[in-house]
Structure 1
Amino acid sequence: MSDEKANLPAVQADEAHGQVQLAEPIPDPGIEPHEPRITDIDPKAADRVERQVAAMFTLAGLLALGACVAYFAIPRDSILTVGPLTGNANNLTIGLCLGVALFLIGAGAIQWAKKLMVDTEISEERDAAYSTPEQKAEIIEGFQVGVAESGFTRRKLIRRSLIGAMGLLGLPAIVLLRDLGPLPGRSLYNTIWAKGIRVVNDVTLRPIKPSDLVVGQLVNAAPANLAPIEAQSDVEYQNAKAKAAVIMVRIAPNEIRTPAGRENWGIDGILCYSKICTHVGCPISLYEQTTHHVLCPCHQSTFDLADGAKVIFGPAARPLPQLPLAVDAEGYIVAQSGFTEPVGPSFFERG
């Protein structure tokens, strides 16, 4: 006996107590008869819609080119005023061109789908989530049928204008890459560190002696010759400060694994490394004393300061550059030389 029949007496008992009788399930009405559109009947109407869609795609491509032209033609400091509203003319023009271009591509695609693609409704039974080989073959066949019914291969005007518009829409993205600034070139190869430059605390600018550090301590530091650069432009000062930032740590000498060629780069367990992560250039100083690991807060690259700052986890591709240290005649920590490799993030020009 089915569940429906088993529950029938209870339903009837409820009806006897005055409840509303349950209605029978509504039968499946099926799919309504297809009504052809004017574009299905009149080839001239279909051609007009095709020209409309192609015009939208073509205009979208022209607007994409217009965004590129505006980027170079309109001065960056030009201001556009409309009533009480003001804004940067360069940004507004580029934004309007790209916004309208994207709108036209979307509107054209909708018009194409509604007026020219096949609109016959279909129904199918819901199948299991996993597709059998036969179902996969049927899906591929259905996709091919859909391509044919869309008219993409048959309506050359639409196809060509859409491909052109989508291709031109990528040009502004390429042009706007210019705003990312110049390529690093050899700018990261050179810092203001040099032989004899004292290491100072990056806040107080006081020079540091080996006795100022205890085992397990990490200090954020900078070169002593950074201060005079403040007289120059802020951009130059910030660039110099960013590239020269370092962290200095003291580790028990018996826990240090010194890379070959760096035997004299430390001072009784005091080591100095660039503060700039070699992944994308975030500043780092999250230090774990027990493991001697320093963590980048941006993408969790982890470096072992007791083993040449090699990467032990995360996306960074190379160790932190190490600054060779020495002690001057007055007992202060100084650099033996500048960095022997570029600081900061890795980049394809590094070679």
Structure 2
Amino acid sequence: MTRPDRAPRLVVAAFLLSALGAAGFAASYVLGLGNAALGGCLGGSFAFLALGLARWSSLIDAGEPDYVEERAVGPTPQGQYDAFRRALTEQPVPRSRVLWGALGTAVAAIGGATILPLRSLMPAMGTDPDDVLEHTPWRAGTRLVTEEGEPIRPDDLAMGGTVTAFPEGLDPREHVDTTTMLVRVPPNDLRLPAGRADWVVDGVVAYSKLCTHAGCPVGLYTDTSHQLMCPCHHSVFDVTDGARPIEGPAPHPLPQLPLDTDASGYLVARGDFSGPVGPGWGNH
């Protein structure tokens, strides 16, 4: 059992560790270290704060054995109430500036750390949330590459072939919304929406690989019918008709990525997708 004279030190240490965990959360957010670091730091901060408060509150115990006092139902007599208040306030509960300062530091650190991510919702201070939801990092002139980072030429796809592509220079694990499905079909079979005739290169058409129902990867392609299928809930999209959903729960077509080639003959994007990618509860 911890000696009473060491208890305040444990409380101060717990509060300071709580503040350190909050600082780690803020640093993890700024450096983009991921959810594991964010959750571990913030969880540890709250855990040490709870430990410090629990240890501090335990010092209120005067060492008397627990007992139940039988009394009549009704308001407490004023004399008993005054005696209770005296007994409570006379307990040896540490109230030093060090303890209160440590607690204030922990609370302030946690408050500041948890408020920090709100900057992402402020267009003047960070990225506009609307822009994040409606646009992806695809830009005009960005090369399409494989998962291994190899650039792609139209002829790399046989007729009826497929390739999963990503923007060159970006980590696909951090930019899942850029994942693109390339399919090569006979150009004469295409019936794309108006204005998209020049979005195709030698029959290679590009669509977002994220299903518009629940965001699952649409990776199953049937060449004979030119259909892409989502394996999660069996939504089916017609590749030749702008990836229009023809079966299943998907409410919207897969957004299309306009394609072109650069001076070296590699496929590049002409801009961003035709609409927001992913689940269809957004504005498509």
2:277 match = 343
- Partner Cα distance (1:244, 1:188) in 2: 12
What amino acid maps onto 1:322 in structure 2? Q
Residue pair 1:192, 1:225 contacting (<8 A) in 2 also: no
Post-superposition Cα deviations, 1:74-114, rounded to whole Å, max 9, x if no partner, equal x743449xxxxxxxx9xxxxxxxxxxxxxxxxxxxxxxxxx
The yes-or-no answer on 1:206 pairing with 2:140 is no
TM-score by length of 2: 0.54
1:192 match = 137
Query: Of 310, 313, 326, which aligns to 2:244?
Result: 310
Secondary structure at 1:238 match in 2: coil
Higher helix share: 1
Secondary structure at 1:326 match in 2: strand
C-alpha displacement at 1:340, in angstroms? 2.9
Query: Of 215, 218, 221, which aligns to 2:162?
Result: 218
Structure whose alpha-carbon radius of gyration is higher: 1
C-alpha displacement at 1:210, in angstroms? 1.2
C-alpha displacement at 1:225, in angstroms? 2.6
The yes-or-no answer on 1:300 pairing with 2:234 is yes
C-alpha displacement at 1:187, in angstroms? 2.1
C-alpha displacement at 1:259, in angstroms? 1.5
Secondary structure at 2:198 match in 1: coil
What amino acid maps onto 2:134 in structure 1? Y
Residue pair 1:259, 1:308 contacting (<8 A) in 2 also: yes
1:255 match = 189
- Partner Cα distance (2:192, 2:174) in 1: 31
- Partner Cα distance (1:213, 1:238) in 2: 24
Identical pairs, percent: 46
2:51 match = none
C-alpha displacement at 1:188, in angstroms? 2.4
Structure 2: which 5+ residue stretches go unaligned?
Answer: 1-41, 49-53, 55-120, 122-128
What amino acid maps onto 1:325 in structure 2? L
- Partner Cα distance (2:208, 2:249) in 1: 17
Residue pair 1:199, 1:224 contacting (<8 A) in 2 also: yes
C-alpha displacement at 1:213, in angstroms? 1.1
What amino acid maps onto 2:157 in structure 1? L
Residue pair 1:193, 1:338 contacting (<8 A) in 2 also: yes
Residue pair 1:188, 1:344 contacting (<8 A) in 2 also: no
Query: Of 200, 222, 234, which aligns to 1:266?
Result: 200
RMSD over equivalenced CA pairs, Å: 2.1
